[in-house]
Structure 1
Amino acid sequence: MTATGLTDAPVEAVVFDYGGVLTLPVKQSIAAWLAADGIEPDSFSRTLRAWMSRDAPTGTPVHRLETGELTVEEFDALLAAELTTTDGHPVDPVGVLSRLFAGMRPDPEMFTLVEELRGLGIRVGLLSNSWGDTYPRERIDALLDPVVISGEVGLRKPDAPIYELTLARLGVAADRALFLDDAEPNVLGARAVGMRAHLHVDAPSTRAALAALVPGLRPTPNGAHE
């Protein structure tokens, strides 16, 4: 057994999360939004815990947003109502998620990794819980296949059906697919259906983990010093 999962079978496919994996850490964008809008960070953290913690009840606003049952506008209003500001003014509900994600940027090292895996004949896909349409679709559609977005399929991580759907679209056995996510519950969800999975922290450590599993993949990017 390896640190990333169940077997030593060859890796035929790598499935990437989007926010926090193919992008730089989302917390950087969130911090900038909280400061710009004058939002008390504790009010945001408290709301996320209530809606996203492992013991949160089924059907929280986050769950319904991710499966497409809530529109972004409906979620914006619910989230804004839970937040408090430093000056006591209400949070403008229009465009809350757009402002929250405004500072999110692609991670060039991770996109380079995707391209190198493709060049080695490894299938690469995307599996993401969506908080609105924040994806550079032209870019990811050109690189990744399949692209499984929770709000488009009505399923969400870490529930088993969305991993099973992704595997069916990949056409590979679970133990031949490696899933990358920056949230531990989603990593555990992948392992529960037999996939191998790695908890992403940063591009260098993820590349090193994959290099131990994918023949021909360098542990550092081409041109970098090892």
Structure 2
Amino acid sequence: MTTVDAVVFDYGGVLTGKVRHSIAAWLEADGIEPESFSRTLRAWLSRDAEDGTPIHRLETGELTIEEFDALLAAELVTVDGTAVDPVGVLARLFAGMRPDQAMFELAGELRDLGIRVALLSNSWGNTYPRERIDPLFDPVVISGEVGLRKPLAPIYRYTSDLLGVPSDRVLFIDDAEPNVLGARAVGMQALLHTDADTTRAALADLVPGLSRPLTAAPRT
């Protein structure tokens, strides 16, 4: 990777804790067989899934949250054989997500150093803290609001155009490998996010003046 003029952040799993932790808590609380959710996720979101799955249509705003909740609930199996309540399924799925303060601080530091920071997120109907993200990120691109979705090329090009920065001077950060590969396919630099310290360390190599993560104190 080379020096960048703009950094584009994903939301869920990058600016928040890991989405899988929230999902695991929801599956346990609702008594849902994890394999029934995993099976549905593979069918609707895997790399070889046909276009137009319910997740695709949710992400582009073609399905309402209520419509998707009903479709997802119908695919799930509970441990006791009862039906899954379709009302508020997505709200319960994302209930355990919390902002990652270290990542928000990283975005703020980048902006203070003159780097453009933007947000590019596939929406599953989850509520975004607009009062926090709107003052920090410019632009804010939410898939359901623009009718485009990752990892397809148009949403990356759309974001680059809004930034006014050539694609090869943009670094995209996401926790999902297909989305990282999609960004690279249109000429963006891209980084697979695992945790705040690792991402900060990678960015410190690209952005002069960005502080590196604190190293752990040696054990005695």
TM value normalised by structure 2: 0.96
Counterpart-to-counterpart distance in 2, 1:116 and 1:104: 23
How far 1:133 sits from its partner (Å)? 3.8
Amino acid at match of 2:195: D
Q: Offset at 1:225?
A: 6.9
* Structure 2 residue 195 is the aligned partner of structure 1 residue 211: no
Alignment: residue pair count? 218
- The verdict on how the C-alpha distance between 1:225 and 1:115 changes in structure 2, with shifts beyond 3 A counting, is farther
Q: Decide whether the 8 Å contact of 2:94 with 2:126 is kept in 1.
A: no
Asked if 1 retains the 8 angstrom alpha-carbon contact of 2:90 and 2:126, the reply is no
> 73, 82, 96: which one pairs with 1:89?
82
1:166 aligns with 159
1:35 aligned partner = 28
User: Which letter does structure 1 place at the counterpart of 2:138?
Assistant: D
1:124 deviates by 0.1
Contact 2:119 2:138 in 1 (8 A): yes
Within a 5 Å distance, the mapping from 1:74-85 to structure 2 comes to 74-85=67-78
1:20 to 13, 21, 44: 13
What RMSD over aligned residues (CA atoms) do the two structures have, in Å?
1.4
Question: Mapping of 1:151-190 within 5 angstroms?
Answer: 151-190=144-183
CA distance in 1, matches of 2:198, 2:61: 33
Aligned to 1:67: 60
SS in 2 for 1:28: helix
**One-letter identity of the residue aligned with 1:34:** L
- 2:163 is aligned with what amino acid? L
Q: What runs of 5+ residues in structure 1 fail to find an aligned partner?
A: 3-7
Write the distance in 1 (CA, Å) between the matches of 2:23 and 2:178.
21
1-side partners of 2:46 and 2:21: how far apart?
20
- Deviation string 1:204-225 (CA, Å, 9 cap, x unpaired) is 100000001110011116x987
The alpha carbon displacement at 1:134 in A equals 1.8
Q: Which residue of 2 aligns with 1:192?
A: 185
Residue identity (%): 76
Counterpart in the other structure of 1:5: none
Matched, 1:11 2:4: yes
Q: Of 140, 143, 152, which residue of structure 2 is paired with 1:150?
A: 143
Kindly provide the amino acid, as one letter, of the partner of residue 151 in structure 1. Answer: G
Q: Give 3-state SS (helix, strand or coil) of 1:189's partner.
A: helix
Give CA-to-partner distance per residue, 1:45-75, whole Å, 9 cap, x none: 0000000000000000000000000000000
Q: What are the ranges of 5 or more consecutive residues in structure 2 without an aligned counterpart?
A: none
Deviation track 1:114-156 (CA, whole Å, cap 9, x = no partner) reads 1110110100000000001421011000100000000000000
**TM-score (ref. length: structure 1):** 0.94
**Which residue among 134, 138, 144 is the counterpart of 1:141?**
134
Q: Is the 8 A contact 2:91 2:126 kept in 1?
A: no
Match status 1:127 vs 2:120: yes
Distance 1:18 1:105 in 2: 11
- Identify which range, 128-137 or 77-86, moves more after superposition: 128-137
Amino acid in structure 1 at the alignment position of 2:116? R
Q: Using a 3 Å threshold, how does the CA distance of structure 1 residues 225 and 134 change in structure 2: closer, same or farther?
A: farther
Alignment partner for residue 104 of structure 2, among 81, 99, 111?
111
